[in-house]
């Protein structure tokens, strides 16, 4: 499976530990999505679209109508679970778009951010999964092996005559690191944003959760139509 992708702002973020004023400069949101999810969603929609159109044009009887009813029943869940998920981290809040719900959490309400077998946000006494940040155990194991080798390689040892000691590896906070799992990098950035922006006066408020009815309603309508067509 390919690497995930994160789209970040180019203007940067306030210095860690400093409280940015409410009327200070504005920065673009960091938006995180899963590239494998997007690619698989586009491929599934393309294949399903071809099959449905073919059935509508070449079949007879109830089959074209059944194929038409299957279109929303298949398309909207695929869109919801592959193309829709995202995590948008702004100055005042983090917006988590999951397949069927949108969770808006002001930074002051963030209690914890963790990535075990899945990426999770704890706020208001509840736990919300972040579908857009899948945890790859394969990436994490690879990163752990690299860290173990690097620790052995960079262990203090007496340099040979005429050789200078190897300078330590420089790590820039927030910069992409190909030697760490993508989900762990995202969680580190979100934790830093929560710590930095949680003190902003505009980062306070209540956690809000909304249902994605534009996905739920057409899916249920397609299911009702399919049941009606197959039972009559």
* Contact predicate 4/36, CB 8 Å: yes
Share of the chain above pLDDT 70, in %: 70
The confidence score (pLDDT) of residue 14 equals 42
Q: Which domain holds residue 186?
A: 5-20+27-163+170-231
The confidence score (pLDDT) of residue 68 equals 94
Least confident of 6-10, 23-27, 208-212: 6-10
Q: Hey, is 121 helix, strand or coil?
A: strand
Whether 151 has a pLDDT exceeding 90, the answer reads: no
Instruction: Work out whether the CA dihedral 52, 56, 58, 59 comes out positive or negative.
Output: positive
Burial, 86: exposed, middle or buried (Cβ in 10 Å; 0-12, 13-18, 19+)? buried
Q: Model confidence over 52-111: pLDDT tens digits?
A: 999 999 999 999 999 999 999 999 999 999 999 999 999 999 999 999 999 999 999 999
Q: Model confidence over 20-50: pLDDT tens digits?
A: 444 555 667 899 999 999 999 999 999 999 9
Could you give the number of structural domains in the chain?
1
């Amino acid at each position: 499976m390919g690497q995930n992708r994160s789209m970040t702002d180019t203007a940067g973020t306030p210095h860690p530990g400093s409280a940015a004023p409410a009327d200070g400069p504005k920065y673009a949101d960091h938006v995180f999505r899963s590239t494998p999810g997007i690619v698989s969603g586009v491929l599934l929609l393309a294949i399903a679209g071809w099959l449905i159109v073919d059935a509508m044009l070449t079949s007879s009887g109830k089959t074209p109508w059944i194929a038409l009813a299957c279109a929303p029943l298949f398309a909207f869940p695929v869109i919801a679970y592959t193309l829709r998920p995202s995590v948008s981290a702004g100055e005042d809040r983090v917006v988590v778009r999951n397949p069927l719900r949108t969770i808006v959490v002001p930074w002051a309400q963030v209690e914890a951010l963790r990535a075990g077998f899945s990426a999770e946000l704890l706020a208001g006494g509840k736990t919300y999964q972040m579908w857009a940040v899948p945890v790859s155990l394969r990436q994490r194991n690879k990163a752990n092996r690299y860290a173990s080798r690097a620790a052995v390689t960079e262990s203090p040892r007496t340099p040979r005559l005429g050789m200078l000691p190897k300078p330590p590896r420089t790590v820039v906070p927030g910069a992409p690191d190909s030697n760490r799992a993508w989900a762990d990098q995202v969680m580190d950035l979100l934790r830093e944003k929560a710590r930095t922006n949680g003190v902003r006066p505009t980062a306070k408020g209540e956690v809000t959760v909304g249902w994605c009815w534009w996905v739920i309603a057409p899916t249920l309508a397609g299911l009702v139509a399919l049941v009606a067509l197959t039972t009559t």
